[in-house]
Structure 1
Amino acid sequence: MALHYLKEILLTKRVILLCGSGGVGKTTTAAAIAIRSAMEGKKTIVVTIDPAKRLANSLGLQELGNEPQKIDISSLHPNEKAKELWGMMLDTKRTFDELIGKYAPDKETYEKILSNNIYKHLSSTLAGSQEYMAMEKLYELYQEKKYDLIVVDTPPSRHALDFLDAPQKLSDFLDESIFKFFILPTSTLGSIGLKLFSWSGALVLKLIERLTGLEPLEDLSEFLRNFQNMYQGFKQRAEEVSRFLKIDETSFLLVTTPTHIALEEAKYFYKRLEENKMPFGGFVINRVNPLFHSAGIDHPTLKLLIEGRISIDPDTEICKKFAQILDKFRNVGEEDRFQITELMNQFGKMQRLILIPYFSDDVHDLRGLEELNRYLFDESFN
C-alpha cells in the first residue's frame, strides 16, 4: 500500500514550504506538520515571518525571535523516537544586516552601509525584501544541516507569489549594468552625476526628499560606492537561492479553503509552480464544511439526525429552527463539494488532496495541533 503522501513528504524531504493566500490557515498547518515531524523522530524547525504571535502561542510560547528556540512537546503522547522541535520568527532587518556582514570586505564598509539612510529604507521597505530575506534565512538553515526538516510558514503577502519571485527579482535588481550606470568616481559624480540626476530625476528626488526628509543624492551615491564590491556576491547568492527552490529535497504545499477566491489563487499558484518546475507536494484544504466531511461531526445524536436514522416531530418550533439551520449548513456543504470537485476535475482526481473540516474551536495549543494532525496524516479521513 502506498504511503499517505504527506507521510512520504516527511520521510523524503528536508524543506516543506506552505504557501497560499492570507487567512487560509498556513501558520496552524505549518505548526502541526512540524510537531508531527518531531514526533516521528526528525529534528525539526518551523520558521515564520508573520509578526503576529499566532504560531508562538499555538506552540506554547510567549513569542518567537530571530534565533531558534526549543519547543517543549513533552506534554504530548510519550514517544521514544521523538526528536527536538524548534521555532523561530524571522526578523527581516536583522537578516539583511547579517547578509551585509557576510559580503562586506571590511568592518568599516559594513558599518557605513548599516548607518546609511538609503540602506535603512531599502532593508525594511524595499518591495520583496521581506520575501527574499525569508528565502535567505531558509537557505542558510538548509546549508547548516542542523535540522532534519525545515517547515516554512511563508510570508503574509497580498500576492503569495512574491515569495517565489523574490530571489529572481533581487538578482535582476542587482544587474551589473545598473550599478555601472550609477557608480561613478567621486569627481565624476560631482560634475556629471549631479547634472544627470537634476535633469532626469529631479522630480523623483524632490518627492523622496519631501516624503523622507533625506538628502537622497548624497545618501544614494555613498550607498552605491560602499556596495559596489559586494553586489556580485549578493547576485550570486540570489541565484543560488532561486535554484534551491527547485531541488528534490524541497516540497511546496498549497494551503487554501474551499471558497472560490482562495481556490482560484491556489490554482494559479499551482500553475506557476509547474511553469517554474518547482516540486509540488499537494493541496491542503482547510475549513471544509463538516457535512461534506463526515468525520468532522462528532455529536452522535446530530450525526444520526443528519443521516436520517432517527426522526423527531417536524411540527415543533425547535425542529423547524433546526431544519433551517441544517439547510444553511447543507447549502454551504454543497458549495464546498462543488468547489473541491472543480479542483479535482481540473488537476486530476488522483491529485494529492487533504481535506480538513471546519473546527468548532480555534486551534491555539499543542493539543489542538495534535488533533489537526489526525486529519492531515490519517488517510481514513481523506
Structure 2
Amino acid sequence: MHASWKGSDVLVIGGGIIGLVTAWRAALGGLRTAVADPDPGGGAAQVAAGMLAAVTELHYGEETLLGLNLASAQRYPGFAAELAEASGQDIGFRACGTLAVALDADDRAHLRELHALQRRCGLESEWLTGRECRRLEPMLAPGVRGGLRVDGDHQVDPRRLAAALLTACERAGVVFHRVSVARLTVAGDRARGAVLSDRTELGADQVVLAAGSHSGRLDGVPAEVLPPVRPVKGQVLRLTVPRPYAPFLTRTVRAVVRGSDVYLVPRANGELVVGATSEELGWDTTVTAGGVYELLRDAHELVPGITELPLTETRAGLRPGSPDNAPLLGPTALPGLHLATGHFRNGVLLTPVTGEVMAAVLATGELPEIARPFSPLRFSPAPSPVRQEQPV
C-alpha cells in the first residue's frame, strides 16, 4: 500500500447482502475493509423470498448463468454453516426442495419444455402427474395438471442472511460508515475511494461498487464504466399459518398463472412468502392494490386455502437488472474499481459464490475462471478496429 495513502485496503459501496458478503470475505482474507451504506443489511434482501432455485429458475438463453447458479447452490450448505458459526445466527437454510406445477394445458406444455431443457442441461428433475403433485402437497388445487419435482432447489431466509452477514462483518473487523455515498473519488486515472454525503472522504486502494439497483447512477464513475443496471420492481406478500403450524406446504411451490410467475415459500416459523411481480417502473416502490390482488388471485388458483390465512405484510423492492439478466463481477476498465451488482433474480442464490469471486479479485486482481463470462467488460464499448495499411 502507498505510504502516503490513508484509508482502507477495500471500500465496499453498498451494504446489501452482496456488499456484505464481499466485505466479510475480504476481511477474512486479511484486507482492511470498510462498507459505506446508510442502512447496511437493508435493500432488496428485506423483500426477497430467498428461493435457491438454480434448476426451476432456468430460462432459455441463460445456460451460462446456470453454471454459476449451480456452483453457488452447491456451496450453500457449507456457506450457511460457516456463516452461522461466524455470526452465532441461523440463516434459515432449508433443504426442502421445490415443486413447479401447471394449472392448464398451455402451462403443462411450457413445463414439459422446461423439463426437456433441464434434462439437456444435465439437471435432476422429475415429472409428476397432477395426482402425484397433490399427494406431495395436499393443499394444491384439484385442477393442477402436472408438475416438476426438484429436490435440489432449496431456500434461505434473506432477512436472517443479511443480519448474519452484518454480524459476521462486524466480528471480522469491517468498519461501517452508515452514510450514503455522494461520489466516487478518481485520481490519476484510478479509483481512490469515495466522498460521503456528509463530506467525509474515504480513501481506499480498491473500491467495490455493490449498490444493487443504484449501482448505475453513482456520481464520479466515468460514463464508459458505469454499470448498465436498472431497477426492476417486485411486490411480495407475507402471510402467517396460524399455530400450531399445520403443514400447509412442505416445500416451495411455484407456477406460471396467466403468463405470470407466482411462488409460495413456506418458512419453518409459519410464515408463507408469496411473490413476486416483475415491473419496469423505474424507482417506484409503491405497494399497489393491483399487485396485491394479482398475487393473491394467482396464489389462490394454486392453493385455494391461502385466502383463509392472515395477511401480515406487503412489501415492494427493486431488483438490480442487467441487459442479459446476469451479474457484473470483477474489475472494470477503471483501475481500482470493481463491480458486484446486476444479480437480478439471483442475488440470494449467488451470495456464496459472489463472496468467493470478489475475495479472489481483491487479493489477486484476477477474475476466477467461473466468473469470467460475467466480467463487466462484456458491456464495454468495442474498440474501433485498427486500420491496416496496405503494402505498396
Greater C-alpha radius of gyration: 1
Task: Name the structure with the higher helix share.
Answer: 1
TM-score above 0.5: no
Task: Name the structure with the higher strand share.
Answer: 2
Give the TM-score normalised by structure 2: 0.26
Give the TM-score normalised by structure 1: 0.26
